Amino acid sequence: MYFVYILQSEKDKSLYVGSTEDVKKRFAEHNSGKAKYSSSKRPYVLKWFCAFPTKQKALVFEKYLKQGSGHAFTAKHLL
């Protein structure tokens, strides 16, 4: 299984969207500073995640959530 997840920074309330095979491990990496892009905005809270049967489907949905209409979808339906 592959997962798409949304984190929210407790520092500035910004959102981070990502995908992984192991949500628990990846969440720990974000909060420990091992994920370089998101290290300056930690700590994070896991706000949402969803499982997908294939990596390809997870990556397509992750890409959608990072686009304009995906931002609106997230605000209206996920958070």
Using pLDDT thresholds of 50, 70 and 90, give the confidence band for residue 73: very high
User: Is it true that the peptide bond before 43 is cis, omega within 30 degrees of 0?
Assistant: yes
CATH hierarchy code of domain 2-78: 3.40.1440.10
Task: Show me where the domains of the chain are located.
Answer: 2-78
Structure tokens at 57: 């489907």
Given a cut of 90, whether residue 2 has pLDDT beyond it is: yes
Give the pLDDT confidence score for residue 51 in this predicted structure: 98
The pTM assigned to this predicted structure is 0.94
What pLDDT, on the 0 to 100 scale, is given for residue 28?
96
Backbone angles phi, psi at 5, to 5 degrees: -135, 155
Q: DSSP letters along 19-62, please?
A: EES-HHHHHHHHHHT-STTTGGG--EEEEEEEEESSHHHHHHHH
Query: What average pLDDT score do residues 68-74 get?
Result: 96
Per residue in 25-59, pLDDT tens? 999 999 999 988 888 999 999 999 999 999 999 99
